[in-house]
Amino acid sequence: MAYARWLAGRIARGGWGSSGGSARSLARLRPRWHARACAAALPPAILACQYLDRRWSSCETSAGAGSGSSSSSIIRFRVDVDRPGLLSEATEVLKKQEVNIRDARISTKQGTKATHIYLVEDRNGGGLSEDRLAQVRGALGQLAEGSCEAAPWPRYSSEEVLKHQTAENGIWVSYKDGVYDITDFVQNHPGGKDKIMLAAGKAIDPFWRIYQQHTGRGNALELLESMRIGDLSDPPAARASCDCPYDSDPERHPGLIFHNNKPCNAELPSELMMDSWLTPNPVWFIRHHHPVPVMDPEDYRLCIEGVGTKAVTLCLEDLKKRFLKREVCATLQCGGNRRSELDQIEKTSGIPWGFGAMSTARWGGVYLREVLQHCAGLSHENVEAFDVKHVIFKGMDGMEASIPIEKALSPYGDVLLAYEMNGEALPSEHGAPVRVIVPGVVGVRNVKWVGRVVASTEEAEGPWQRGLAYKGFSPMVKELQGIDVEKIPSMHELPVQSAIVSPKAGSIIELDDVEVKGFAWSGGGRGIVRVDVSIDEGKTWVTAELTNGKDQDYNRAWAWTFWEASVPVPEELQGKEFTVLCRAVDAAYSTQPERPEPLWNLRGLNCNCWHRVPIRHQE
């Protein structure tokens, strides 16, 4: 952690009267009360006490670091001979002293030496007074003789923070009244290095007012707090009022399962999933990265440009009147669908979706290939001559992504510039006036509110294409140090998927047969050949009956397929708990893997293991 490195460095450099010596390792402990404490906005103090073999004690308070008075203190307590249980004993003593503990750490050295480190604050907030320090010292003295040294928590000005914008000098940011060293985190930022570097040396508050998922889920705040290195001596005055950029977002259906509101990320509930093969517009799953843009359809313009093209600008009426209307039924699925199942193995990075981050619609619009070829002049000859490899879509919300030119121009790719959804004008929530529909690929490539289409020799810039957000890593990769993320291909076609919609987990059934219903889908337009269902951990399987969606072309099956199965409950399972399993087989005869463990990855993408639903039979 950045703070741990900073503290160890101060100790190693002899900070606060240290006798020197660097920490060999720093193990971070997160007590149960840490998450609650991290939510507080109060500045922390650090308690680190040094137990000595000698039987003497003293306590010194040194002058403050930085300008102005400090509201916090730093106290050290070193252990020459560590012993099991000392950390928990000291923790209990501090709790009895009503010292608020925000974090606990141990820094070990060669041999038996260690430093026990606590982030604390006084019960009334702020640093420890001389009297409180004496009380704490006396209480710890009941465990062993020791010495305490106190120093103020560092304070930095905005001018000082501004000097730290490179890896060489350290990359610092401020948030509210805190200063943070994010140097080692930059490479692992889910939104990409380029995005976070916009805030290097600056306050991140304006950025987080736009990307409110950072504060909505809380884990970003906790992670940021672990990198805190001091207080901001000149924090900006609180804004008296703020026009929230999300105030103009449309109203949403209350039946959706909301993971975030700003930006909105909500999934289709299982109870509504199979009511209709085409998902009704109001309950379609929502995946936004920014506020919903406000655009008058009369003012809308779509720019087509790039290598090998002649630049053209089209209005909405041009798309409707100059091109034949096409319709495509397609399911869109977020790459993180079912991420919550991977989180049960080890926490990943992203929204903890269930299996409802997907929906299906009949999209109406014009084929992208017809606009590119017949209006912008992007012929196959030009593709070869100008080495066109990708088509980039740029949304009016600042999001961009790209697809290979082969998909964009394929007469069987069915890529749409869509202005209708399920027979109605495209809702603003889902990309009005115009969005891109790229059937068979991950949802993020289906850019909403598209304003520019660019033929290019390279794929799109940004975290959604070149960053780590939609790239899969080995289960062994837990951080990205030394990995060139841009060289790893981005997600496009998704693997075969199926899930059980009914019965729900925890259901009690009384009949001799389990009635099971669900859906199946595969990327790349690969149709569903078969779905198997088991209730005995895969020893035997029942083949499900395919229903809605089964008649799609096996090579252009862009939408999901519903299925149902009646599974007899054998005598040995009657009156007992058991798990219903399903697995799908697509037109390439690919099937779902059994377990989630081999699928685990840092970003929690492409979870398509057998879906498991525990239920109980009651005689």
Which position among 214, 290, 390, 435 bears the catalytic label?
214
* Nearest in space to 10 (alpha carbons), one of 58, 67, 70, 62: 62
**pLDDT, position 419:** 98
Residue 414 clears pLDDT 80, i.e. is over it:
yes
Mean pLDDT of 158-163: 93
The verdict on residue 353 lying in a domain is no
What is the residue whose two structure tokens read 């999934």?
267
| 334 noted as active-site residue | yes
| 607 noted as active-site residue | no
Mean pLDDT of 24-52: 30
Strands 25-29 and 78-79: unpaired
Tell whether 568 and 536 lie within a shared domain: yes
Which position among 10, 164, 189, 526 bears the catalytic label?
189
Whether 415 and 408 have beta carbons less than 8 Å apart is answered as: yes
What pLDDT, in 10s, does the model give residues 196-241? 887 899 888 877 876 777 776 667 888 898 888 888 988 876 544 4
> For the ranges 57-66, 407-416, 449-458, which has the lowest average pLDDT?
57-66
What is the SS3 string spanning 29-94? ECCCCHHHHHCCCCCCEEECEEECCCCCCCEEECCCCCCCCCCCEEEEEEECCCCCCHHHHHHHHH
What pLDDT, in 10s, does the model give residues 416-454? 999 999 999 999 999 999 999 999 999 999 999 999 999
* Token code pair at residue 282: 């109001």
Among residues 487, 522, 546, the one where a domain terminates is 487
Whether 183 and 171 have beta carbons less than 8 Å apart is answered as: yes
**pLDDT, position 42:** 29
| 214 noted as active-site residue | yes
**SS3 call for 469:** coil
Stated pTM of the model: 0.69
**SS3 call for 102:** strand
Tell whether 544 and 469 lie within a shared domain: no
* Token code pair at residue 581: 């399993």
In this structure, what DSSP letter does residue 393 have? Answer: E
The verdict on residue 17 lying in a domain is no
Q: Which residue has the higher pLDDT, 82 or 419?
A: 419
Strands 50-51 and 146-152: antiparallel
Tell whether 544 and 511 lie within a shared domain: yes
* Nearest in space to 430 (alpha carbons), one of 368, 523, 335, 365: 365
Q: Which residue has the higher pLDDT, 344 or 40?
A: 344
Whether 152 and 75 have beta carbons less than 8 Å apart is answered as: no
Total domains in the fold of the chain? 4
Which position among 334, 375, 582, 607 bears the catalytic label?
334
**pLDDT, position 98:** 80
The verdict on residue 507 lying in a domain is yes
* Token code pair at residue 347: 């926490």
| 189 noted as active-site residue | yes
Among residues 95, 114, 143, the one where a domain terminates is 143
Tell whether 465 and 600 lie within a shared domain: no
Q: Which domain holds residue 132?
A: 73-143
Q: Which residue has the higher pLDDT, 8 or 95?
A: 95
Q: How far is CA 585 from each of CA 111, 346, 528, 554, rounded to the nearest angstrom?
A: 57, 28, 6, 12
The verdict on residue 280 lying in a domain is no
User: Dmax over Cα atoms in the chain, in whole Å?
Assistant: 91
What size, in residues, is the chain? 619
Q: Which residue has the higher pLDDT, 88 or 286?
A: 286
What pLDDT, in 10s, does the model give residues 348-384? 989 999 999 999 999 999 999 999 999 999 999 999 9
The verdict on residue 27 lying in a domain is no
What pLDDT, in 10s, does the model give residues 242-297? 578 899 999 999 889 999 999 999 999 998 899 999 999 999 999 999 999 999 99
Share of the chain above pLDDT 70, in %: 79
**pLDDT, position 242:** 55
CATH number at residue 127: 3.30.70.260
Among residues 111, 143, 175, the one where a domain terminates is 143
Helix (H) or strand (E) holding 271: helix 270-273
In this structure, what DSSP letter does residue 173 have? Answer: E
Tell whether 470 and 446 lie within a shared domain: yes
Tell whether 404 and 311 lie within a shared domain: yes
CATH number at residue 537: 2.60.40.650
The verdict on residue 535 lying in a domain is yes
The verdict on residue 10 lying in a domain is no
Which position among 287, 288, 289, 617 bears the catalytic label?
287
* Token code pair at residue 334: 């977020």
Which position among 156, 367, 419, 470 bears the catalytic label?
470
The verdict on residue 397 lying in a domain is yes
CATH number at residue 423: 3.90.420.10
Q: Which residue has the higher pLDDT, 116 or 58?
A: 116
